[in-house]
């Protein structure tokens, strides 16, 4: 059935005929939302759309949870705002203590903010302040950051400079405003794409060594003493489509950071707060069942966002590890930073209610781990034999499906065609399921993907519906395109 009125159709097919290298334009008309309830979006025309991605991977406990609304309202009634510079606030203190405890004490300090971009921006600034003001004085040359491509870390100038996201950077490249000279990309760790056109699969250990050698040569090229930090997502979200690292990679990255005195920043804005099956993605990226030695890879700085407050309020955080916190304590330093809404009581109340009041109380992390097997199995059953599905990968409730022109060669579709956008729109419009269109970085020829990121309390029958509807959308789109 058609789920939207005709207004949604107006002008939305323009990207289909576009064959140039520019990113597809967004649809001109979007469905009007009436409300969001549980695992559904409901439009003003009465269409009920199953939520398989929580917007941009945000709504991790579904919509309209009464206990969360009650907690936020209660906080609003007692104090909706106070400056972090004037008062200590109870919910902020409780949340910070809980967060530190949730890392097993590996992280020591917490700064609450409103968006992922702000948290990344703060991580960049804190890295510089640590090296320049607290440990090295003016003699230190650590002004470079090593990033990966493609990647996405945010939309402010610093976080966008750290991002290798073709279409978002495009308007600013010629202006020279992005801090190009201080951000240095190495290639992302993406086993599926890195073996493009190769007939023989490379053994994992050899692949990991190759990737780590690339990182080490970047250190050496820049001069190790010039590198402030290495920034990466432990499991890559929208830039690649839910790609976990192969065993040994992150441990190797950490070793190189330690060897060369650089900080390791993990961006957990999308993959964190339970999305991957553990509260923090770094708690599980090097899984013991992979047969590898060693434990968790703990970052020096960690950003949180999205599922942190589950979308009930804006919200993000920067967590600071021992290395930096220890120096701050010893040298009696404070981070020269400050937003009006930093350490906001409503953000804290929402995060506490979502994390402690719902996820912890209902044991939802265990559910995510159980659902990982179900969702992975369902996606593979339904889609892995489709001639235009190249790869299906993920962790927890964080799954990506990558589309290709040719499964053998892994040749991607032309960027201008907007294949992921077509699947996303067809799934929503014709089959009533919202999946995330992760085509953002396809301008670099990395291929189209959609992401499935349902709420942690999703039911098994809802997972079946999601995969069935997505499967129908994929079949419909490629049938129209002629395979
Ligand atoms: N980092 C990652 C990995 C993200 O996926 C995003 C947003 O999608 C950000 C940072 C920026 O977060 P925000 O959009 O809340 O500023």
Q: What is the CATH number that goes with domain 6-64+363-481?
A: 3.90.1150.10
Using the mean position of ligand 1's atoms as its centre, give its distance from the Cα of residue 153 in Å.
Answer: 5
User: Given the CA of residue 268, which atom of ligand 1 is nearest to it?
Assistant: 3
Ligand 1 closest atom vs CA 151: 3
- Cα 269 to averaged position of ligand 1 atoms, centre (Å): 6
Residue among 305, 314, 449 to mutate when testing ligand 1 (max atoms within 8 A of CB): 305
Domain ranges across the chain: 6-64+363-481, 67-360
What is the C-alpha separation between 374 and 380, in angstroms, rounded? 10
* Dist. CA 398 → ligand 1 center (Å): 15
Which of 122, 152, 165, 244 for mutating ligand 1's site (highest number of atoms within 8 Å of CB)? 152
Q: What is the model's pLDDT at position 198? A: 55
CA of 117 to the centre of ligand 1 (A): 6
ipTM of the complex: 0.99
Pocket of ligand 1 (CB under 6 A): 56, 115-117, 120, 152-155, 233, 237-238, 267, 269-270, 305
The pLDDT score that the predictor gives to residue 82 is 96
Q: What is the pLDDT of residue 288?
A: 59
Can you name the CATH fold of 67-360?
3.40.640
What residues in the chain have per-residue pLDDT under 50?
A: 1-24, 27, 440-443
Output the CA 315–ligand 1 centroid distance in Å: 11
pTM above 0.90, yes or no: yes
The residue whose CB lies within 8 Å of the most ligand 1 atoms, and thus the one to mutate among 58, 112, 117, is 117
pLDDT at residue 10, as a whole number: 37
Give the pairing type, strands 389-395 and 398-403: antiparallel
pLDDT at 155: 93
Q: Which atom of ligand 1 has the smallest separation from the CA of 116?
A: 12
pLDDT given for residue 11 in this prediction: 39
CA of residue 152 to ligand 1 center, whole Å: 7
Matching residue, tokens 């559904």: 40
Instruction: Output the pLDDT for position 357.
Output: 98
Task: Write down the mean pLDDT value for the chain.
Answer: 89
Res 139: pLDDT: 65
Predicted pLDDT at 16: 31
Candidate of 53, 154, 161, 162 to mutate for ligand 1, largest count of ligand atoms within 8 Å of Cβ: 154
Closest residue CA from atom 1 of ligand 1: 153
């Amino acid at each position: 059935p058609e789920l939207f009125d005709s207004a949604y159709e107006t002008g939305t097919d323009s990207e289909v005929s576009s064959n140039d290298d520019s990113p597809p334009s967004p649809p001109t008309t979007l469905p009007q939302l009436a409300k969001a309830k549980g695992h559904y979006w409901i439009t003003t025309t009465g269409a009920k759309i199953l939520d398989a991605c929580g917007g941009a991977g945000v709504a991790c406990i579904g919509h309209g949870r009464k206990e969360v609304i009650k907690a936020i309202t209660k906080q609003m009634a007692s104090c909706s705002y106070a400056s972090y510079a004037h008062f200590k606030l109870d919910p902020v203190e409780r949340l910070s203590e809980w967060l530190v405890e949730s890392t097993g004490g590996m992280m020591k300090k917490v700064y609450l903010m409103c968006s992922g971009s702000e948290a990344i921006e703060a991580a960049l600034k804190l890295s510089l302040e640590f090296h320049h003001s607290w440990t090295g004085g003016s003699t230190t040359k650590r002004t470079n950051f090593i990033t990966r491509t493609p990647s996405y870390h945010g939309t402010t100038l610093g976080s966008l400079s750290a991002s290798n996201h073709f279409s978002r950077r495009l308007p600013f490249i010629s202006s020279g405003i992005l801090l190009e000279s201080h951000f240095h990309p190495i290639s992302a760790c993406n086993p599926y794409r890195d073996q493009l056109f190769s007939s023989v699969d490379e053994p994992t250990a050899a692949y990991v060594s190759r990737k780590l050698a690339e990182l080490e040569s970047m250190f050496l090229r820049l001069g190790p003493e010039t590198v402030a930090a290495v920034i990466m997502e432990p499991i890559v979200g929208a830039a690649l489509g839910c790609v976990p690292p192969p065993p040994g990679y992150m441990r190797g990255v950490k070793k190189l950071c330690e060897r060369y005195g650089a900080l390791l920043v993990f961006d957990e804005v999308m993959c964190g707060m339970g999305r991957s099956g553990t509260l923090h993605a770094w708690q599980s990226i090097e899984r013991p069942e992979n047969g590898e030695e060693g434990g968790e890879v703990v970052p020096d700085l960690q950003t949180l966002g999205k599922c942190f407050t589950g979308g009930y309020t804006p919200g993000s955080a920067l967590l600071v590890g021992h290395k930096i916190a220890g120096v701050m304590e010893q040298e009696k330093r404070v981070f020269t930073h400050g937003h009006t809404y930093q350490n906001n009581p409503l953000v804290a109340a929402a995060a506490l209610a979502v994390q402690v009041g719902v996820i912890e109380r209902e044991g939802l992390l265990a559910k995510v781990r159980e659902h990982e097997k179900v969702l992975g199995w369902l996606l593979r059953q339904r889609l892995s034999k489709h001639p235009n599905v190249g790869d299906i990968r993920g962790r927890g409730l964080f799954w990506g499906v990558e589309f290709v022109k040719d499964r053998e060669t892994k040749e991607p579709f032309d960027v201008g065609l907007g294949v992921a956008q077509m699947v996303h729109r067809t799934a929503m419009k014709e089959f009533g399921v919202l999946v995330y269109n992760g085509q953002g970085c396809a301008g670099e020829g990395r291929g189209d993907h959609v992401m499935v990121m349902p709420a942690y309390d999703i039911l098994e029958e809802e997972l079946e519906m999601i995969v069935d509807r997505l499967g129908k959308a994929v079949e419909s789109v490629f049938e129209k395109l002629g395979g």
